[in-house]
C-alpha cells in the first residue's frame, strides 16, 4: 500500500498537469483569435466531429426522459405538416421546396429532414424540436408547455421521407386557394406566396373547414372572441408555439380584419365523422345542459352555446378530438395567464376523463346544414 499510493498520486498529478495544459491552450487559442468564427469558412474538421459527437450523445441521453409518444393519427400528421410548413420548411426545405438561400448559408446548414429524420427515434426528434440545439440556428419551441404541438411535428417527420411534393402540399396547405400575386403585390407587399402565415392553412377558409380534427373551426365564431384570442396569443397569455408568433406579427387593424372575416363565414358542413357512442352523447348532453352542482361543474351551454356571451367560444359543431384536447390542456393548467384560462382551469380540473370525452362527443354530434343552421344528429 505504501508503494502504490505515491504512484496513484503521481497519476493524478499527471492528469491535472495535462488538464491544465489543455485549458491554457484553449484559452490562448480563444485569446489570440486564431480560430475563425466566420460562418463562411466552416469548422476545423476535429471541431466539427467533436460538436456532432457531443450533440448526438446529449440528445440521446436526454431523450431517455421523454414520455411515450401518442398515437400518430392522420389528424396529428396533418397538423404537424401545417406546423412544419409555417415554421420549419424555410430552413429545412420540404418535398418539392428547397430551403431558403439564407438558411443554406448558415453554419451548420439546417439538414434536409426528408433525409435525416429517420436517423433519430421519436423521443429524440421530440427533444430536438422542443428544446432546439445550441450553437446552431435551431430554436426551442416557443411554448414549452405545448408538448401536443411538438408531437404533431414529430408525427409528420416520421412521414416526410415518403411524401412527394403533391401529397406534401395537400397536407400542409390543403384546400387553401393561394392567389397569384400581381406585379404590384410583388413590388410593394411582403407576400408569402406559399401562405406560410395564412390562417386558412390550418383553419380553412370560405366553405372549407380545417383538414385536421385537432384544429378549431373559426367560421361563425364571434369577432369579440377571435379578437380576445389573438390578443392573448400575441401577449403570450395563451400558449402555442404556432399561434403566438403568428398573432404577435399582426397589428390591431389586421387582427380586426381576420376576426371579422371568420365571424362572417357560415360554419362549414360537418365532414364525415366516426359514429358517436349514443350513451356518451347523452351523458355529455346532460352535463353540458345541466352541469353537476355537487361537483361544482356549471352547464357548458350557458357560456358556450349559441346564446352565450360573445367573449366565449361556440363549441357546437367543433370536433370531439379538438374539444377533448383543449379540456385536457386546461386541466394541465396550460395558458393559466389568460383570463379564459383563469375561468376554465378550475372547471376542467373537476372533470374526469370520461366526462371530457362525453362533453366532446355531445358538442361534436351537431351537424351543420346549408346556411349555418345547427342540428343534432
DSSP state of 134: T
Alpha-carbon torsion, ordered 11, 17, 18, 21, to 10 deg: 180
Tell which CATH architecture fits domain 67-172.
Orthogonal Bundle (1.10)
What would the grid cell of residue 252 be? Answer: 390591431
Between 67-81, 176-190, 248-262, 319-333, the lowest mean confidence (pLDDT) is in 176-190
Residues 196, 83 contacting (CB under 8 angstroms): no
pLDDT per residue over 100-149, tens digit each? Answer: 899 999 989 999 999 999 999 999 999 999 999 998 989 999 999 999 99
Q: Give the chain's end-to-end CA distance (angstroms, integer).
A: 86
**CA-to-CA distance for 230 and 218, rounded, in angstroms?**
12
Name the class of domain 278-376. Answer: mainly alpha
Residues 130, 83 contacting (CB under 8 angstroms): no
| Omega before residue 349 within 30° of 0, cis | no
* Rg of the chain in Å (alpha carbons): 26
Residues 238, 341 contacting (CB under 8 angstroms): yes
Residues 270, 368 contacting (CB under 8 angstroms): yes
pTM score of the predicted model: 0.88
The helix/strand/coil state of 318 is coil
Q: Which residue in the block uniquely carries the three cell numbers 401536443? A: 148
pLDDT per residue over 329-347, tens digit each? Answer: 999 999 999 999 999 999 9
**CA-to-CA distance for 227 and 259, rounded, in angstroms?**
6
Strand partners, 286: none
**Mean pLDDT, all residues of the chain:** 89
What would the grid cell of residue 276 be? Answer: 358517436
Residues 363, 315 contacting (CB under 8 angstroms): yes
DSSP state of 121: -
Candidates 141, 355, 20; CA nearest to 363 is 355
Residue 285's H or E segment, with its range, is helix 278-290
Is residue 369's pLDDT more than 60?
Answer: no
- pLDDT for res 333: 95
∠ Cα 31 132 340 (to 5°): 130
Q: What is the mean pLDDT of residues 243-256?
A: 94
Per-residue pLDDT band for 8 (boundaries 50, 70, 90) equals: low
pLDDT per residue over 268-298, tens digit each? Answer: 876 555 567 899 999 999 999 999 999 999 9
- pLDDT for res 354: 97
**CA-to-CA distance for 50 and 57, rounded, in angstroms?**
11
Is residue 306's pLDDT more than 50?
Answer: yes
Residue 366's H or E segment, with its range, is strand 366-368
Is residue 222's pLDDT more than 70?
Answer: yes
> Mind spelling out the 3-state secondary structure of 200-255?
HHHHCCCCCCCCCCCCCCCCCCCHHHHHHHHHHHHHCCCCCCCHHHHHHCCCHHHH
- pLDDT for res 280: 95
The helix/strand/coil state of 29 is helix
Higher pLDDT, 266 or 178: 266
pLDDT per residue over 251-269, tens digit each? Answer: 999 999 999 999 999 988 7
**CA-to-CA distance for 329 and 371, rounded, in angstroms?**
32
- pLDDT for res 177: 76
- pLDDT for res 203: 93
Same fold, 67-172 and 278-376: yes
Q: Which long-range contacts (CB under 8 A, 24 or more apart) does 176-180 make?
A: 176/200, 176/201, 176/204, 176/205, 176/208, 177/205
∠ Cα 248 238 245 (to 5°): 25
The alpha carbon of residue 337 and the mean position of all alpha carbons in its chain are separated, in whole angstroms, by: 19
The helix/strand/coil state of 97 is strand
* Domain extent listing, the chain: 67-172, 278-376
Amino acid at each position: 500500500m505504501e508503494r502504490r499510493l505515491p504512484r496513484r498520486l503521481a497519476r493524478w498529478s499527471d492528469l491535472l498537469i495535462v488538464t491544465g495544459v489543455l485549458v491554457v491552450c484553449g484559452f490562448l487559442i480563444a485569446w489570440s483569435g486564431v480560430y475563425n468564427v466566420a460562418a463562411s469558412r466552416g469548422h476545423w474538421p476535429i471541431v466539427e466531429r467533436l460538436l456532432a459527437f457531443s450533440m448526438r450523445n446529449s440528445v440521446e441521453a436526454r431523450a431517455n426522459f421523454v414520455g411515450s409518444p401518442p398515437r400518430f393519427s392522420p389528424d396529428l400528421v396533418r397538423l404537424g405538416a401545417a406546423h412544419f410548413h409555417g415554421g420549419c420548411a424555410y430552413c429545412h426545405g420540404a418535398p418539392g421546396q428547397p430551403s431558403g438561400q439564407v438558411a443554406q448559408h448558415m453554419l451548420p446548414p439546417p439538414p434536409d429532414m426528408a433525409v435525416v429524420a429517420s436517423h433519430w427515434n421519436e423521443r429524440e426528434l421530440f427533444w430536438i424540436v422542443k428544446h432546439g440545439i445550441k450553437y446552431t440556428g435551431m430554436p426551442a419551441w416557443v411554448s414549452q408547455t405545448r408538448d401536443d404541438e411538438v408531437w404533431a411535428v414529430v408525427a409528420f417527420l416520421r412521414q416526410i421521407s415518403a411524401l412527394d411534393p403533391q401529397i406534401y402540399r395537400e397536407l400542409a396547405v390543403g384546400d387553401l386557394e393561394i392567389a397569384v400575386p400581381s406585379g404590384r403585390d410583388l413590388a410593394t407587399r411582403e407576400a408569402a406566396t406559399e401562405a406560410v402565415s395564412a390562417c386558412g392553412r390550418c383553419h380553412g377558409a370560405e366553405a372549407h373547414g380545417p383538414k385536421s380534427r385537432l384544429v378549431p373551426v373559426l367560421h361563425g365564431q364571434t369577432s369579440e372572441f377571435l379578437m380576445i384570442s389573438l390578443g392573448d396569443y400575441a401577449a403570450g397569455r395563451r400558449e402555442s408555439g404556432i399561434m403566438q408568433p403568428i398573432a404577435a406579427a399582426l397589428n390591431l387593424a389586421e387582427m380586426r380584419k381576420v376576426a371579422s372575416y371568420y365571424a362572417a363565414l357560415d360554419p362549414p358542413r360537418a365532414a364525415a365523422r366516426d359514429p358517436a357512442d349514443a350513451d356518451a352523447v347523452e351523458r355529455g348532453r346532460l352535463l353540458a345542459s345541466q352541469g353537476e352542482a355537487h361537483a361544482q361543474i356549471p352547464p357548458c351551454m350557458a357560456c358556450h352555446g349559441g346564446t352565450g356571451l360573445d367573449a366565449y367560444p361556440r363549441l357546437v359543431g367543433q370536433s370531439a378530438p379538438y374539444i377533448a384536447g383543449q379540456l385536457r390542456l386546461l386541466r394541465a393548467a396550460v395558458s393559466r395567464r389568460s383570463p379564459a384560462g383563469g375561468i376554465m382551469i378550475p372547471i376542467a380540473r373537476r372533470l374526469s376523463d370520461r366526462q371530457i370525452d362525453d362533453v366532446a362527443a355531445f358538442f361534436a354530434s351537431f351537424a351543420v346544414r346549408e346556411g349555418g343552421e345547427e342540428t343534432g344528429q
